[in-house]
């Protein structure tokens, strides 16, 4: 869902902010809220999304303080936690973690082919969790860092008092209506991403840049948020997906993108479909691409157009 410059500028006019706000405040952007609400009404289900300008702290969205299942989007934060622990000297990225057939669960695109080796380096597991959403890699890292409770404690140390990890893959995807385990909100996750991906308070510059590059090199979300961005803009993301007979389909994506010569913008989008389907549908991914299109137009509006 590529959009050309003329269409992007026209969209920017449609999504002009009603005013500016200080850091960490929600922007009173009725038009963006209305666009996201209209999208939700058109496709059915429940959509939570937030767009955050990292330069000013301005943000706007829809259902951004409601809880949503993280699904595999948590692996971005997990990879960041690993890199932070290495920055702090608490672990060495070249340490090999052993694993066996007993550790195997569904979706192991990297750990599966390497099972015969019996171990993988921490840095390779973190990269696999982020770039391919490898579930075994994620579980091994969670265990090595002390379990879900320890991961949640790391989130709290980052200033995120909402996001929580309670279980391992694949159980953490089982989040029916009313479940609070393994959830976040679009606002909380966006703020955490901003802390991790901009500045150097949580991650050293080399670790931050490595994490960003892993996001850019991730290709699982090219039809989600990034599918609505101009293809010339640098962007990276982490997807999350869950299909089950126990709950409506979940199609998530969290992304960062760089408008030309502008500071990065962060977008978090969590979409629960209007029913239970056996597979992720193209139409569900298109919902998130539309969020990306709205976010791109908002970014142009925030910065007064692109030169």
The set of catalytic residues is 72
Say how far apart CA 258 and CA 62 lie, in whole Å.
Answer: 22
Taking alpha carbons only, the member of 274, 271, 270 closest to residue 248 is 274
In the 8-state DSSP scheme, what is residue 176?
Answer: -
CA 219 to chain centroid = 13
Taking alpha carbons only, the member of 183, 140, 167, 165 closest to residue 46 is 183
Q: DSSP string spanning 257-299?
A: EE-TTS--EEEEEEEE-SS--SS--HHHHHHHHHHHHHHHHHH
Say how far apart CA 164 and CA 152 lie, in whole Å.
Answer: 5
Say how far apart CA 224 and CA 191 lie, in whole Å.
Answer: 20
Say how far apart CA 21 and CA 28 lie, in whole Å.
Answer: 8
Contact of 252 with 68, CB cutoff 8 Å = yes
Q: Cis bond leading into 170, ω under 30°?
A: yes
Helix (H) or strand (E) holding 222: none
Contact of 115 with 97, CB cutoff 8 Å = no
Say how far apart CA 119 and CA 111 lie, in whole Å.
Answer: 9
| SS3 state of residue 112 | coil
Here the tokens at position 8 are 């992007």
Residue 149: how many other CB atoms lie within 10 Å: 10
Contact of 30 with 15, CB cutoff 8 Å = no
């Amino acid at each position: 869902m590529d959009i050309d410059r003329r269409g992007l500028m026209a969209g920017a006019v449609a999504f002009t902010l009603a005013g500016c706000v200080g850091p960490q405040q929600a922007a009173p952007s009725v038009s963006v809220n209305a666009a996201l609400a209209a999208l939700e009404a058109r496709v059915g289900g429940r959509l939570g999304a937030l767009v955050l300008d990292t330069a000013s702290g301005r943000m706007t969205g829809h259902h951004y303080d409601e809880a949503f299942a993280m699904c595999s989007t948590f692996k971005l934060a997990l990879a960041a936690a690993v890199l932070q622990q290495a920055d702090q000297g608490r672990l060495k990225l070249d340490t090999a973690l052993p694993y066996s057939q007993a550790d195997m669960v569904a979706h192991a695109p990297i750990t599966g082919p390497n099972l015969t080796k019996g171990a993988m380096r921490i840095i390779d597991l973190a990269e696999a969790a982020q770039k391919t959403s490898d579930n075994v890699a994620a579980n091994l890292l969670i265990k090595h860092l002390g379990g879900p409770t320890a991961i949640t404690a790391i989130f709290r140390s980052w200033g995120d008092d909402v996001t929580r990890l309670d279980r391992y893959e694949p159980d953490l995807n089982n989040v029916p209506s009313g479940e609070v385990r393994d959830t976040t909100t679009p606002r909380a996750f966006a703020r955490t991403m901003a802390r991790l991906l901009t500045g150097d308070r949580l991650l050293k510059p080399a670790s931050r840049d490595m994490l960003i590059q892993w996001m850019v090199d991730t290709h699982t979300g090219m039809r989600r948020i990034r599918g609505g961005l101009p293809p010339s803009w640098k962007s990276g993301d982490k997807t999350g997906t869950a299909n089950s007979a126990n709950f409506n389909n979940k199609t998530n994506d969290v992304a960062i993108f760089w408008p030309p010569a502008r500071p990065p913008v962060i977008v978090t989008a969590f979409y629960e479909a209007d029913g239970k389907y056996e597979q992720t549908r193209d139409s569900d991914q298109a919902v998130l691409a539309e969020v990306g299109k709205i976010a791109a137009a908002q970014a142009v509006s925030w910065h007064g157009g692109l030169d």
